[in-house]
Amino acid sequence: MKGVFSAPGDFVYFKSQVPLHKIPIGTKQWRYYDFGPKVVPPLICLPGTAGTAEVYYKQIMSLSMKVVQIELSKSITHQCKSGFYTKKCAGSAPESVCAGYRVISVDIPRVWNHQEWIQAFEKFLDAIDVHHIHLYGTSLGGFLAQLFAQHRPRRVRSLVLSNTFLDTHSFAAAMPWAPMYVVVFLHNDRKPDIINVSWTPSFLLKRYVLTGIHDGPHEPFIADSVDFVVSQVETLSREDLASRLTLTADAASVGSLLLSDSNITIMDTNDYCATPQQLKDQLNERYPEARRASLKSGGDFPFLSRPDEVNLHLQLHLRRVGLEARPDLVRGTPKDDGAGSNPSEKNDEKEDPDNPPKDDGGNTESPSTESQLPTAPESSESRSIDDPPLSNAKFCLIGQQNIMQQPFALMRKRQTMAADVHLQFALEILVLYLVGSLYITSNYCGKFRQLV
């Protein structure tokens, strides 16, 4: 029986601290997370076909937020695609992680060819007032990052490519549903639209995307990463999936880049991933002087299963290309309580996607008008960064000598939950006892009637 996916605790904390930005640019709707000092050129993360903006939350928390992670001793049993397993987390001392970079994680919008992607991404950068960028792309995201660096070389300062490829010809030949799209496109002289995509059902697209993920016994952290990405695939619409698969099936290749190989890092996993080894070898041959960062394991999503290693390689890459962190500008440090923060940080308050649209007379979201929207009282994404919810805190901000203790409210909540579990268990035992008593009594009554 398929288990219900439960979001990790650090992801719940991330959603409570980092707002989700949603802005329309032309006919495209952009979803993205943006955290870190605005004066630092951003590292923009581009996901693969099965990814969303949420899959890079561990990179944002490590590279952009100044936190101390406190792990509690616990033993949890999970259910994933490979079965049940038990993960034990031993108590450890608080560990601080680096902060001070600006990280932007975006969703790939609904574009239907590579030229449209280049134009849409450039308009997105103009809308958020970003000129020079560093790109980190995995799988399809790495391919799109290379295309943008080829056609807009002045904007891209460096590349980090993970489990990606140079051309899409092999994917176009392997997709069984691709001829359906080709026939529809040939009978229409105009650009493909939503009506054309509706020919392919959503369940078929999701099934094809999920079949690319390695299915088999996984170690716990890789199994967690697979479960998280599968839960994100379920949130994608048919149009989103069809757009990404169309970008993968559209035969194209990356030309020569003006970017020096010394500004490129290739980070691949050595166990398994959806990208064939032959395509990964072609990428290494194209950039012979690029820096190699090999991960012994990690599967298709090392940014989730091996976040410490990935974040370390990202930090080393950014330092090597001359981008230094600015921890003094990180928001939310308790010693200044937000004073002296960057004035442009006021533009980061965004509308919560879980709340219904506000009746604002049709005013659309934009980076310059978001701060005027009222804050939802119970929103997990529109809460101020400088006022973290203590009742949900699993991570504590650095800035004082003493580390914040775990809130008493959370401890009382856990005690209440434990009492409820014990009560439910006692009730189940009582029900089983009553059922057994009735069964035994009925048997004896039947035997007594036979004797009489």
| pLDDT for position 417 | 57
Task: Please provide the CATH number assigned to the domain covering 9-329.
Answer: 3.40.50.1820
Quick one: average pLDDT of 172-176? 63
Task: Name the band, by pLDDT with cuts 50, 70 and 90, for residue 207.
Answer: confident
| pLDDT for position 332 | 55
| pLDDT for position 450 | 55
Average pLDDT of the chain is 73
Across 205-209, 235-239, 343-347, least confident range? 343-347
pLDDT digits (tens, 9 = 90+) for 125-138: 999 999 999 999 99
With 80 as the cut, is the pLDDT of residue 260 above it? yes
Q: What does the alpha-carbon distance between residue 324 and residue 36 come to, in Å, rounded to a whole number?
A: 13
Quick one: average pLDDT of 346-370? 40
With 70 as the cut, is the pLDDT of residue 394 above it? no
The SS3 assignment for 293 reads: strand
174 vs 303 pLDDT, higher one: 303
Quick one: average pLDDT of 142-149? 98
The SS3 assignment for 85 reads: strand
| pLDDT for position 449 | 55
Quick one: average pLDDT of 392-415? 41
Cα angle 319-321-326, degrees, rounded to a multiple of 5:
45
Task: Name the band, by pLDDT with cuts 50, 70 and 90, for residue 425.
Answer: low
Residue with tokens 């203590």: 390
Quick one: average pLDDT of 399-404? 36
With 50 as the cut, is the pLDDT of residue 366 above it? no
Q: What does the block give as tokens for 20?
A: 């989700």
Percent of the chain with pLDDT over 90: 47
| pLDDT for position 280 | 95
446 vs 244 pLDDT, higher one: 244
| pLDDT for position 257 | 96
| pLDDT for position 339 | 34
With 50 as the cut, is the pLDDT of residue 374 above it? no
**Domain residues of the chain, as ranges?**
9-329, 410-452
| Radius of gyration, CA atoms only, the chain | 25
Quick one: average pLDDT of 267-293? 93
Task: Name the band, by pLDDT with cuts 50, 70 and 90, for residue 66.
Answer: low
| pLDDT for position 93 | 38
Quick one: average pLDDT of 57-82? 60
| pLDDT for position 212 | 76
Helical segments of 109-201, H only: 114-127, 140-151, 169-174, 178-186, 194-197
Task: Name the band, by pLDDT with cuts 50, 70 and 90, for residue 416.
Answer: low
| pLDDT for position 209 | 84
79 vs 119 pLDDT, higher one: 119
Q: Decide if 25 contacts 120 (C-beta within 8 A).
A: yes
Its pTM stands at 0.66
**Residue 41 has what DSSP assignment?**
P
Which residue from 426, 345, 390, 332 is spatially nearest to 13, judged by alpha carbons? 390
Task: Name the band, by pLDDT with cuts 50, 70 and 90, for residue 442.
Answer: low
Between helix 202-211 and helix 220-233 the angle, nearest 10°, is: 160
Long-range contacts of 433-441 (CB under 8 A, 24+ apart): none
With 50 as the cut, is the pLDDT of residue 69 above it? no
Which phi-psi region, left, alpha or beta, contains residue 69 (left: φ > 0; alpha: ψ -120 to 50)? Answer: beta
Highest mean pLDDT among 42-51, 169-178, 273-282: 42-51
Task: Name the band, by pLDDT with cuts 50, 70 and 90, for residue 327.
Answer: confident
| pLDDT for position 234 | 93
Task: Name the band, by pLDDT with cuts 50, 70 and 90, for residue 439.
Answer: low
With 70 as the cut, is the pLDDT of residue 383 above it? no
Q: What does the block give as tokens for 306?
A: 């091996």
